[in-house]
């Protein structure tokens, strides 16, 4: 990782200001002081900010909205060392700003309402920009100067706030957070203002949770569902969609009589959709790819082709597709009708989820009960649930990518050090071939890191690759990682690598699978050392990559690992990607050794051509 560079202009500026105050320090001395501050103070300050932001996110959503905003005011006052804080909400119907919470509590002299026009709070809402008042007594727009003067308040920072809409038909609620200080002629630093803005924005998440819970009018259990979604996605540990589904869907089953639920994503080419997650997971082929053109119901959802309205067997609208009679619907293909008949599903609801105006995901809900229709509120709840799952899916992918950065990053750093040493020792002419090889690997691994980051926006393009060649290269990178991690007691063996073994996949996917398996195998080898070996071969119509390591796992753990439920994210990522590529995974463990085999459908020569 490139170290944080201290801005030399900043050093010069600080040096000049110190000299102005009679403190004559050299450039090197100031650099040292700034470095110490960065190392010793910055961490502590950032940690405090994170803790304060977390404290706001943890405000109890069962409190009233006024109590939540008062808790925000208290947090901001305590953290910024202010005297008081208050929140005013804009009432567009009456064109006024209404007092809606403060810390310390509402005083007798606080005005319940103030005008929207020609007031500081109104200007902040109108312009959506912070307002800095270093001296209230000199500020023309601050009318009630006597009251703040009575409390010894002389300066103020006013910040825009936005609170999610009160109901499904309302607009977002705009407001102003006013923070009061005793200092006169106070100079507000950019950092102080930015921290205050960040803390103010965080409360919108708490209010959002509160509002969403309020929408669940049918039962208390609905409140619990949404709260669980927020709590799960808000945990510091990595998000796993399977866990989110397993946590939330049972509640929906009881309330809305939903037997199955699944989340699909639309691929970049918009010609295919991928099954990303489902409940119960065992009934879903996670990673399954469907062609939009071959599935009329998917065309209707993704392309929003219409016609819209209520029909005999379907209700088709831009925000939902409700199949009233699956066996008679012209939108469902015969194989899906047979499946739904076996499962005794009599009603299917599809909820399209849009990003930037295009359907990028959609949710499906299968119910054994017949639903004649859904209210707008119920559709909104389903859509809201889907949007939270979209966030969860994105967070899961981000967590996976961060996990998979490790190997290429360590390998690139290792080869860079190797090149650096050769150059420092003056051995370049003799070892030119090794330097060229190292530079090529550095280029490929750093490009791979870039590709990993770009997978958040798309998977790239499928290709036909040689599994044996990929296994060999990833094993070499893993070897470099082990050297960097000083695991010299691991002996590496390269068995027979039958080649070529052509498979069709996204190249990045197979590399991530092999990296995770090699990394897990390396980590499973005992501290005292052991063996790590690879081989590849053809078995019937499958291309097989095999990775073995010293160390044995129990029969009980074996089943969990194959389901991607081992410690960490590696196996979780691997199982999902293997399913996505139409492959399968086998594991054997015994006599002090564990072997993982990943198998993928072979691509024939004519298919490759």
Instruction: For 267-278, write each residue's pLDDT tens digit.
Output: 888 888 988 877
| Alpha-carbon gap, residue 434 to 2, rounded angstroms | 24
Instruction: Kindly state the average pLDDT of the residues 59-72.
Output: 78
Model confidence pLDDT, tens digit, residues 110-131? 677 888 888 898 998 888 888 8
Confidence of residue 471 (pLDDT cuts 50, 70, 90): very high
Q: Summarize pLDDT for 416-434 with one digit per residue, the tens.
A: 877 888 788 777 777 888 7
The CATH code that applies to domain 216-400 is 3.30.450.40
Domains in the chain: boundaries: 1-58, 60-207, 216-400, 459-608
For 10-37, the pLDDT digits (tens) are: 778 888 888 888 888 887 887 888 777 7
- Residue pair 121/156 in contact by the 8 Å Cβ criterion: no
Q: How many CB atoms lie within 10 A of CB 512?
A: 25
Neighbours of 591 (CB within 10 A): 6
Measuring CA to CA, which residue among 492, 488, 487 is closest to residue 476?
A: 492
Helix (H, G, I), strand (E, B) or coil at 315: strand
Which pLDDT score is estimated for 1?
35
Written as six digits, the tokens of 501 are: 């073994």
Q: Determine the longest span between alpha carbons in the chain, in angstroms.
A: 89
Closest by Cα among 407, 442, 390 to 573: 407
% pLDDT > 70, the chain? 78
Torsional class of 118: left (φ above 0), alpha (ψ -120 to 50), beta (otherwise): left
Same fold, 60-207 and 459-608: no
More confident residue, 2 or 494: 494
Distance (Å, whole) CA 293 – CA 598: 31
Which residues lie below 8 Å from residue 400, measured CB to CB, with a gap of 6+?
Answer: 569, 572, 573
What pLDDT, on a 0 to 100 scale, did the predictor assign at position 602?
92
Instruction: Say what the pTM is.
Output: 0.45
Report residue 367 as tokens: 């119910």
The arithmetic mean of pLDDT across residues 522-541, rounded, is: 89
Measured distance CA(333)–CA(326) in Å, rounded: 10
The continuous run of DSSP H or E covering 126 comes out as helix 120-127
Kindly list the distances between the CA atom of residue 7 and the CA atoms of 11, 26, 41, 120, in Å, as whole numbers in the listed order: 7, 16, 17, 37
For residues 585 and 496, what is the distance between their CA atoms, to the nearest angstrom? 20
3-state helix, strand, coil in the chain (%, to 5): 45, 25, 30
Contacts of 18 (CB under 8 A, 6+ apart): 24, 25, 30
Highest averaged pLDDT of the listed ranges 77-86, 440-449, 557-566 = 77-86
What does 390-449 look like in DSSP terms, one character per residue? HHHHHHHHHHHHHHHTHHHHHHHHHHHHHHHHHHHTT-TTTTHHHHHHHHHHHHHHHHHH
- Tokens at 441, concatenated: 């690997």
CA-to-CA distance for 523 and 332, rounded, in angstroms? 47
pLDDT digits (tens, 9 = 90+) for 557-599: 776 676 655 555 667 778 878 887 888 888 888 888 889 999 9
Q: In terms of Cα–Cα distance, which of 30, 372, 351, 388 is closest to 208?
A: 388
Beta-bridge partner residues of 156 = 133, 180
Residue 221 has what pLDDT? 45
pLDDT for residue 542: 93
Query: CB–CB of 392/233 below 8 Å?
Result: yes
pLDDT of the residue at 474: 86
Structure tokens at 547: 């990775």
Query: CB-based burial of residue 314 (10 Å sphere; 0-12 exposed, 13-18 middle, 19+ buried)?
Result: buried
Q: Tell me what the mean pLDDT of segment 450-457 comes to.
A: 60
Tally of CB atoms within 10 A around 150 = 9
The DSSP H or E segment spanning 244 is: helix 241-256
Average pLDDT over residues 387-416: 69
Q: How many helices (H) and strands (E) does the chain have?
A: 19, 21
**Pairwise CA distance, residues 76 & 470, whole Å:** 53
pLDDT at residue 136 tops 80: yes
Looking at 331-375, list the stretches that DSSP marks H as alpha helix, in order from N- to C-terminal side.
Answer: 334-342
Q: Give the integer Cα–Cα distance in Å for 37 and 18.
A: 16
CATH of 60-207 given 3.40.50.620, 3.60.20.10, 3.30.450.40, 3.40.50.720: 3.30.450.40
Query: Which range among 262-266, 447-451, 497-501, 590-594 shows the weakest confidence by mean pLDDT?
Result: 447-451
Question: How many other β-carbons are positioned within 10 Å of the β-carbon of residue 492?
Answer: 14
Q: Domain 459-608: which topology?
A: Heat Shock Protein 90 (3.30.565)
DSSP 563: T
| Per-residue b or e along 258-267, where b marks 16 or more CB atoms closer than 10 Å to that residue's CB | bbbbbbbbbe
DSSP state string for 178-234: EEEES-TT----HHHHHHHHHHHHHHHHHHHHHHHHHH--S-HHHHHHHHHHHHHHH
8 Å CB contact between 331 and 223: no
The percentage of residues in the chain with a pLDDT greater than 90, rounded to a whole number, is 14
Contact between 206 and 56 (Cβ < 8 Å)? yes
Query: Among 38-52, 476-490, 554-568, which stretch is predicted with the lowest mean pLDDT?
Result: 554-568
pLDDT at 219: 46
pLDDT above 80 for 393: no
pLDDT of residue 528: 85
Q: What is the mean pLDDT of the chain?
A: 79
- pLDDT at 326 > cutoff 80: yes
Residue 136 per-residue DSSP state: G
Q: First CA to last CA across the chain, in angstroms?
A: 42
pLDDT digits (tens, 9 = 90+) for 206-251: 776 666 655 544 545 445 555 665 565 555 555 566 666 666 666 6
Which H or E run includes 102? Answer: strand 96-103
pLDDT grade for 600, boundaries at 50, 70 and 90: very high
Of 606, 553, 609, 558, whose CA–CA distance to 585 is shortest?
Answer: 558
Average pLDDT rounded to a whole number, residues 401-419: 72
For residue 328, what pLDDT is reported?
A: 92
Given this model, what pLDDT does residue 461 score? 72
95 to each of 120, 204, 325, how far by Cα in Å? 14, 23, 50
Give the per-residue pLDDT at 439: 81
Least confident among 142-156, 184-198, 518-532, 550-564: 550-564
pLDDT over threshold 80, residue 543:
yes
**Phi, then psi, of 285 in degrees rounded to 5:** -85, 80
């Amino acid at each position: 990782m490139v170290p944080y560079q201290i801005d030399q202009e900043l050093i010069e500026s600080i040096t000049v200001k110190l000299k102005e105050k009679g403190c004559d320090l050299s450039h090197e001395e100031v650099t040292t002081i700034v470095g110490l501050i960065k190392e010793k103070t910055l961490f502590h300050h950032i940690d405090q900010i994170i803790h304060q932001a977390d404290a706001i996110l943890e405000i109890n959503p069962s409190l009233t909205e006024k109590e939540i905003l008062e808790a925000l005011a208290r947090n901001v006052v305590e953290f910024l060392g202010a005297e008081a804080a208050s929140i005013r909400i804009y009432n567009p119907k009456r064109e006024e700003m209404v007092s809606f919470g403060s810390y310390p509590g509402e005083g007798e002299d606080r005005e319940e309402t103030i005008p929207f026009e020609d007031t500081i709070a109104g200007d902040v809402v109108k312009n959506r920009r912070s307002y800095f008042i270093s001296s209230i007594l000199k500020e023309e727009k601050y009318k009630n100067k006597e009251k703040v003067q009575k409390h010894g308040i002389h300066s103020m920072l006013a910040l825009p706030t936005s609170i999610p809409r009160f109901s499904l038909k309302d607009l977002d609620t705009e407001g102003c957070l006013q923070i009061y200080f005793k200092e006169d002629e106070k100079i507000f630093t950019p950092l102080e203002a930015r921290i205050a803005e960040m803390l103010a924005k965080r409360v919108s998440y708490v209010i959002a949770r509160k509002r969403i819970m309020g929408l669940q009018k049918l039962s208390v259990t609905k409140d619990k569902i949404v709260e669980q979604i927020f709590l799960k996605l808000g945990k510091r540990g990595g998000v796993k969609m399977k866990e989110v589904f397993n946590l939330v869907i049972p509640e929906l089953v009881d309330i809305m009589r939903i037997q199955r639920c699944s989340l699909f994503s639309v691929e970049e080419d918009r010609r295919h959709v991928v099954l990303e997650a489902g409940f119960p997971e065992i009934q879903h082929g996670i990673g399954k790819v469907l062609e939009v053109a071959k599935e009329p119901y998917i065309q209707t959802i993704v392309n929003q082709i219409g016609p819209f309205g209520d029909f005999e067997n379907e209700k088709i609208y831009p925000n939902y597709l409700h199949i009233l009679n699956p066996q008679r619907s012209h939108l469902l293909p015969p194989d899906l009708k047979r499946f739904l008949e076996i499962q005794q599903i009599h009603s299917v609801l599809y909820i399209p989820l849009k990003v930037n105006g295009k359907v990028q995901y959609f949710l499906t809900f299968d119910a054994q009960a017949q639903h004649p229709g859904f209210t707008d509120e119920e559709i909104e709840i389903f859509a809201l649930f889907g949007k939270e799952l979209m966030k969860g899916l994105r967070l899961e992918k981000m967590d996976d990518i961060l996990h998979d950065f490790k190997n290429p990053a360590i390998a690139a750093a290792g080869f860079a050090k190797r090149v650096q040493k050769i150059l420092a020792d003056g051995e370049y002419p003799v070892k030119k071939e090794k330097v060229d090889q190292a530079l090529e690997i550095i280029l490929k691994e750093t490009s791979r890191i870039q590709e990993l980051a770009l997978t958040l926006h798309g998977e790239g393009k499928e290709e036909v690759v040689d599994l044996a060649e990929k296994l060999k290269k990833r094993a070499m990178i893993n070897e470099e990682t082990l050297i960097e991690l000083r695991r010299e007691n691991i002996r590496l063996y390269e068995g027979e690598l039958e080649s070529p073994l052509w498979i069709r996949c996204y190249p990045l996917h197979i590399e991530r699978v092999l990296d995770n398996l090699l990394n897990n195998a390396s980590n499973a080898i005992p501290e005292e050392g052991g063996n790590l070996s690879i081989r590849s071969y053809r078995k019937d119509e499958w291309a097989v990559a095999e990775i073995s390591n010293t160390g044995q796992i129990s029969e009980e753990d074996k089943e969990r690992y194959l389901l991607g439920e081992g410690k960490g994210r590696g196996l979780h990522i691997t199982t999902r990607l293997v399913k996505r590529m139409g492959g399968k995974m086998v594991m054997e463990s015994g006599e002090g050794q564990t072997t993982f085999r990943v198998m993928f459908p072979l691509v024939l020569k004519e298919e490759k051509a």
